[in-house]
Amino acid sequence: MEAVLNHLEPPPDILRQRSFPIGEPSEIAAARRAGTELARRIGFDDVRAGQLAIVISEAATNIVKHAQRGEILLRKVLRGGTSGIEVLAIDSGPGIGNVRQHMQDGHSTTGTYGVGLGAMRRLSQEFDLYTAPGKGTVLMMVVWGPHASSAIPPSPNWQIGAVCLPLASEQVCGDAWNVVCEGHELSLMVADGLGHGPLAARASETASALLENSTPGLPPLPAPFIELAHGALRATRGAALAVAHIDSARRELRYCGVGNIAACAFDAHQRRHLLSHNGIVGSNLRKLQEFRHPWQLGTTLIMHSDGLHTRWDLEQYPGLAQCHPSLVAAVLYRDFARGRDDVTVVVLREHEEHQAVTAEGTGAA
């Protein structure tokens, strides 16, 4: 446990999500080089690294040609002992009017769009998109490492998507999130260290490391974990911290939050806002209260730091709630990030097979 409590340095860049602005050819090359370097560091062979480079290049080129500006997000993902790299391509451009048509190689509005979209789908082992005419496009692609062969690693019971990025002027993010899962139980944590920069990261990453090591073999319950974290974070600035624990066998969601972490759970019938109390974990823990709610198959949980406005409404994005959680997180980040703080948004859903859904109802996966 001492090793956990002394985890003061932010984790290496290989574990962090990175953002690359895209607006000109030199920025496309920078994103491609970063992806190739990440692939090398986590053990991709030349074939997989080459596929990743093409995926990033095509996605970034489409942004420049069709939306003028956007960004590429890269992060390492893990599943069943296999490493992969998730690519999110985000823009606020004109959108795609007919997804099925654009997926066909050879169809193009400027000479290359159809070929690029088809190549991205073929070269990535997971692919999903959300687009709405006049409201932009978000693509999600995952290229898995060589141990995955040509197949996707077996899907877990849960789908998770996230955006976790620092304030533009900072190198490290003062927010952090983590998840631990065992069987039918899962605990998800979001932390927002006070302020931003390395000292904020020290607080949030200490909480993240504690989640992984506090209860080996069993995801921790929210209130006891936050009480434990309160002691562990005393040597830091402190953090806003919230934990959700889901037991899919009991069909129960337990939640406890302190500070400005927002959370809501929604299904086809209702949306529940989950309550966090005022305070700072590690400094001023005023009240701990754990809430219990039903959890049904198909329920989506969204948790985010105050770097994201709370006025979002998924009903304004037809079909988005059925897309992969990474697309939900990316759209919320694109449209509701405050831009003056670190931002984290994590989206969780019990795994269900689905097709990608666009605003016009066209499957693309």
Region 313-329: mean pLDDT is 94
Please report which confidence band the pLDDT of residue 151 belongs to, taking 50, 70 and 90 as the band edges. Answer: low
- Ranked by mean pLDDT, the top range of 214-223, 323-332, 347-356 is 323-332
pLDDT at 147: 66
Please report which confidence band the pLDDT of residue 96 belongs to, taking 50, 70 and 90 as the band edges. Answer: confident
pLDDT at 363: 36
Cβ(177)–Cβ(204) under 8 Å?
no
pLDDT for residue 146 is more than 60: yes
pLDDT at 105: 52
**pLDDT tens digits along 251-297:** 999 999 999 999 999 987 889 999 999 999 999 998 999 999 999 98
Please report which confidence band the pLDDT of residue 128 belongs to, taking 50, 70 and 90 as the band edges. Answer: very high
What tokens does 143 get?
């290229």
* 9-18, 103-112, 254-263, 352-361: range with lowest mean pLDDT: 352-361
pLDDT at 157: 81
Separation CA 298–CA 314 (nearest Å): 15
pLDDT for residue 126 is more than 90: yes
- Residue 75 pairs with which residues in a beta bridge? 86
pLDDT at 119: 87
Which three-class secondary structure state does DSSP give residue 280? strand
- Average confidence score pLDDT of the chain: 87
Region 80-85: mean pLDDT is 88
pTM, full prediction? 0.89
pLDDT at 117: 84
pLDDT for residue 154 is more than 90: no
Distances (CA, A) of 282 to 166, 225, 351: 22, 12, 34
Separation CA 235–CA 28 (nearest Å): 41
pLDDT for residue 359 is more than 50: no
**pLDDT tens digits along 297-313:** 889 999 999 999 999 99
pLDDT for residue 246 is more than 50: yes
Please calculate the CA angle 347-22-361 and round it to the nearest 5 degrees. Answer: 50
Region 66-77: mean pLDDT is 95
What tokens does 41 get?
């560091």
pLDDT for residue 365 is more than 60: no
289 phi, psi to nearest 5 deg? -140, 125
Region 52-80: mean pLDDT is 94
Cβ(38)–Cβ(73) under 8 Å?
no
**pLDDT tens digits along 103-119:** 555 444 444 434 478 88
